[in-house]
Structure 1
Amino acid sequence: MDLRDYVRILRRNWILVVATMLAGLLVSGLVSILTKPTYTSETQLFVAIQNSGSAQELQQGNTFSQARVQSYVKTVDSPVVLQPAIDTLGLSVTAEELSKQVKASTDLNTVLINISVDDHSPVQAAAIARAVADSLIHAIDSLERPKSGDSSPVRLSVTKPATVPPAPSAPHTTLNLLLGLLAGLALGVIAAVLRTTLDNRVRGEVDLRRITDSPLLGAITFDQDAAKKPLLTQTASQSRRAESFRQLRTNLQFANVSGRAKTVLVTSSLPGEGKSTTATNLAIAIAQAGQSVCLIDADLRRPMVSEYLGLDSNAGLTTALLGAADVNDLLQNWGEDQLFVLTSGQIPPNPSELLGSEEMKDLIARLERAFDTVVIDAPPLLPVTDAAVLSQYVGGVVLVVGTTKVKQHDLQKALNALSMVESNLLGVVLNLLPGKGPDAYTYGYGYYGQDKEPRSTSTSSGQYIETDGSGRSQDRASINDPRPASTYPYAQIDRS
């Protein structure tokens, strides 16, 4: 992964990263609050050699002092020094326990001894530091005194008396909060990378390109109102969703530049990826461009087209395939454009056999001769074989990929299923994309609010007809309207 991949991961999982940072901040704050304050008192001693004061003796004494200071530092935490301090203060601890509170050090090439004492009481810390310093002075005097009884050649003097510390030395609340924040950030980044690595769902074009190099025909942004208003005609004409389907229509024309794919089959890998709404709105968009379109609901297991368009589904595709009625009598005109719909009809017990029959192949051929474009809404590829069987009879296939709905290996299986039957995959449509973020695809330009309702629809005569909530005109002519035969392409369908 390069830097852009990591940036995309952070943008995609920024909520997780922020949550872990806040958690780290909270934990460090609680630790700082619950930790009992510790106070540190310090004192400093100077080591000197008692001599006559000549230059040579001073030099020798200084060298001797520096050599002995390291030994004096090691002596500070010994019972020889600490036990007298305990007895003086009347402490109820042992020398070993007190040694954990006392620290002694010296700087290189100096004769200074630094003693620090930690305690939960500031007054106690200062008292112990003074007692330890006094005890060290007496201990060194005793240890360095000659056996002859003369005075010790070494003298320790306090240069910095121990004082009561005004503020605790621990906990360092500011430092703890900063460390907690950094720890939370590191944990969040690691979790984000692991989550992205383990999550094999298709989330955008980057994930799609890891699986296939098929053309991306369109990208449709997720719209929370689409569940109630799924149709293209139920949104403002300049909305982002409407523009996405117009872009899909245009790209599909370029993908089918040879014009051989008059029939387009729309399918997906799994249910719930939005193939039916994509097929329906694609047919509407093509019809709005002035072409005659036939939309077939070939999902004979969970038909949805009739529900979206508000049409009767009792008689339709299965009726025509079984020979109970001619397709001319089953097509239903929808809207003011030349869009005709062949609903699913009654759900049969053998959908795969019907869709793979010669009757289905002949029906598609008849419709191709009568319409400019035929759009088929087919079942998903993985649960059933209907779409794979039907794809052999059409000019091209459009695969709808519902982002966050399908996993990469499932999409790969769907592509393999189409490849095995040598289907002509025209391209892929990314559906349910986020409107913002690293996986967003569309760019807004002068869009109206998507909440606006289209108030009218223009007809070829220049008149405007009020539309109802389903997107159909309220005074839509019935299929038996005695208009010229050219108005209804299905009237031109031959019966051969």
Structure 2
Amino acid sequence: MDDSSRGVPGFARARVLFMFRRWGPLIALATVVAGGTAFAVSEVLPKEYSATSQLYVAPAANPTAALQDAVLGQNLAPSYVQLAQSEVVLRRARDKVSWPDSKSFRERTQVAQVRNTSIIAVSFRDRDPQRAAEIADLIANSFVEQVRALQSSLQSTTATQLDEEISSVEADRQRIDDELSRLRAALAALPAFPQGPPADLRSQISQLESTGTARQDTLAQLMRTRDDLRLVAARAENTVTVWEPAVAPTDPESPRVALNTILGAIAGGLLTLTGIAVFTYMVDRITDVDEVSERLGVPALGEIPFANEQTLGAHGLFVRDAPASPEAEAFRAVRANLVLAALDRPPRTIMVTSALSDEGKSLVAANLALAFAESGSLTVLVDADMRKPMQHLLYGLDSTVGLADLLRETVPLADIRKFEVMPNLIVLPTGRPPLNPAEPLSSTKMLSLILSLSQLADAATVVIDTSPVLAVADAHALSTMVDGCVVVVDSARTPARASRRAVDVLNAVHARILGVVLNKVPAIQLDYYQSYA
């Protein structure tokens, strides 16, 4: 299976594993440091203790209505929670402990209903655990007293109204009894009549008796109501009671050292992870060969140390001018990897390109050609970057005649040996480029020329330096004419997304990508060259 057919999920998993290996130690260190800092800060912060007193809401003492009472108590509890936080309740508790201001006292007080119960929890926070428990109990007792006073006041008003109404009905009943006594006395004083007593007198007596009976029933009902009210008042004295007094806590509520340590560690890890994500997005570069296959899906052929301006000016052709340098050894390693990576199909024609300009592809192509020539095989280095040619500058050649002239057939292929710069190495400059370089570079003449150059000798190697893939289209057609492509990536400045795009472009035209050369790698990452030397 070739690299272009790799599944996206597998690629994503490899990417995650790579990121974990690269940044995991830093994230772990940040997590430990943040957790330790949170622990240290929590240890020095002032400790506050919270004590809780529990109230029980019991609206009745009727053992036959336990379920109804429980439901009613749950319904009353939310209202009582609001009443318990009222100023009239808190002020009495605050005055008893001489608390300086009401705002801080209220902020330290918390009243809540225990879920699905008739229990109200009254809590108070203070640096002194004993005082926290004392104040919590004071608030609870103050609330109980206020509730009882309120109920007593309401019941007293109702009882007074009932007593007044009973007195009125009793007076009315007494008046009716007096009137009945008078009429009955008058009836007894009358002489006997054959037809009985007068009808009007009998009617008055009967009417008064009915009215008296009704008044008696009303009086009885009112008295029963008064008795019920007294019974309710007796029960109401215990409607809200202190169920469980507050106990001085032994462990502080804040700071919560264990929780703060855990949250601090998590926050440190997440912040570090976020910072890494932002950093990798803003500075999205491939800086290590281990990243190449995970991020680009193609193998790494090697890494070239960063060369400063002075070293580059004196020894741009490291394999020739500084053969014992780390740079020269790195280029020889790239050549060896190219040969060993494709033993069944060794590349004879190799295109060297990059995603963007100034990634060092021309320097890589020049030294790679020197490494092949050094191995004893005839090597032809072709400068096909007609827009920004560099090989004639590196080798100090005349660029007026070269590739463009061979394609125009103004210079015969037989004269190719005139461009030989050293044994086994021919360097073909660009010549005078045409107005549209993409046209001759994508022509059949170019394909024919590449084949001819590869047949100049047995095992001859052609290295072609071409334009960046994402800059112009010159390299697109050329990539299909060669045995394989080498992509140069500048580890110091090229965004990884640009390199991925270049690989995608080459894959889209079905080019064979031999691998990636990571260029300008900091020397500190390549100490194994110097240490071995």
SS in 2 for 1:264: strand
Asked if the contact 2:293–2:300 (Cα under 8 Å) also holds between the matched residues in 1, the reply is no
Map 1:286-325 → 2, pairs under 5 A: 286-306=372-392, 310-313=395-398, 317=402, 321=406, 323=411
1:330 matched residue in structure 2: 419
Structure 2 equivalent of residue 408 of structure 1: 500
**RMSD of equivalent CA atoms:** 5.7
- Change in Cα spacing, 1:41 to 1:29, as seen in structure 2 (3 Å) is closer
Given candidates 398, 401, 408, the residue that maps to 2:485 is 398
Amino acid across the alignment from 2:370:
I
**Equivalent in the alignment of 1:129:** 136
Q: For 1:208 and 1:356, locate their aligned partners in 2 and report how far apart those are by CA, in whole Å.
A: 26
| Amino acid corresponding to residue 332 of structure 1 in structure 2 | V
C-alpha displacement of 1:332: 0.8
Tell me which amino acid in the other structure corresponds to 1:376.
Answer: I
CA contact (8 A) 1:317 1:344 kept: yes
Q: TM-score, normalised by structure 2?
A: 0.56
- 1:42 corresponds in structure 2 to 51
Q: Is 1:248 aligned to residue 332 of structure 2?
A: no
Show the counterpart of 1:374. Answer: 462
Is 1:169–2:253 an aligned residue pair?
yes
- Residue 246 of structure 1, CA deviation: 0.3
Separation in structure 1 between the aligned mates of residue 132 and residue 116 of structure 2, nearest angstrom: 26
Equivalent residues in 2 for 1:192-231, closer than 5 Å? 204-209=292-297, 219-221=301-303, 223-225=305-307, 228=311, 231=318
TM normalised by structure 1 equals 0.59
Q: Give the conservation status (yes or no) of the 8 Å contact 2:134–2:246.
A: no
Instruction: Call closer, same or farther: CA 1:343–1:19 in 2, change over 3 Å.
Output: farther
* Distance of 1:242 and 1:45 partners within structure 2: 82
Look up the equivalent residue of 2:381 and give its one-letter code. Answer: L
> Any idea what SS the aligned residue of 2:254 has?
coil
Distance 1:226 1:287, change over 3 A: farther
1:11 to 8, 21, 28: 21
Q: Give, in whole Å, the separation in 2 of the partners of 1:38 and 1:108.
A: 32
Q: Describe the SS at the equivalent of 2:504.
A: helix
What's the CA shift for 1:39? 2.7
- Distance across 1 between alignment mates of 2:300 and 2:244: 81
SS in 2 for 1:254: coil
The whole-number CA distance in structure 2 between the counterparts of 1:225 and 1:289 is 24
Taking the aligned partners of 1:152 and 1:199, their CA distance within structure 2 comes to 74
Q: Which residues of 2 match residues 22-37 of structure 1 at below 5 A?
A: 37=46
Match of 2:199 in 1: none
Unaligned stretches of 5+ in structure 1? 50-56, 210-215, 420-424, 437-443, 455-496
Change (3 A) 1:299 1:105: closer
Q: Determine helix, strand or coil for the equivalent of 1:204.
A: helix
Aligned to 2:427: 342
Number of residue-to-residue matches in the alignment: 413
Deviation at 1:87, TM superposition (A): 3.9
The 3 A distance-change label for structure 1 pair 286 and 328 is closer
Q: Give the partner amino acid of 1:328.
A: R
- Per the alignment, in what secondary structure is the counterpart of residue 49 of structure 2? strand
What displacement does 1:296 show?
A: 2.6
Q: Deviations over 1:322-373 (max 9, x none)?
A: 649943333210xxxx431325266646472775789867765664443322
Which amino acid is 2:337 matched to?
Answer: Q
Q: Say which SS state the counterpart of residue 88 (structure 1) adopts.
A: helix
Does the Cα contact within 8 Å between 1:69 and 1:113 map onto a contact in 2? no
Q: Which structure shows the bigger proportion of residues in helix conformation?
A: 2
Q: 3-state DSSP class of the match of 1:370?
A: coil
Question: In structure 2, what is the Cα distance between the partners aligned to 1:429 and 1:235?
Answer: 23
Distance 1:65 1:355 in 2: 95
Deviation at 1:175, TM superposition (A): 1.7
Deviations 1:209-259 (A, max 9, x none): 4xxxxxx57522353359847745444699666434301123345334xxx
CA displacement at 1:162 relative to structure 2:
5.9
8 A Cα contact 1:271 1:380, kept in partner? yes
Q: Which runs of 5+ in 2 are unaligned?
A: 1-8, 157-229
Q: Aligned in 2, Cα 1:137/1:265: closer, same or farther, shift over 3 Å?
A: closer
2:514 alignment counterpart: 428
1:224-239 alignment runs, 5 A limit: 224-225=306-307, 228=311, 231-232=318-319, 233-235=323-325
Corresponding residue SS for 2:468: coil
- What is the CA–CA distance in structure 2 between the aligned matches of 1:114 and 1:386, rounded to whole Å? 79
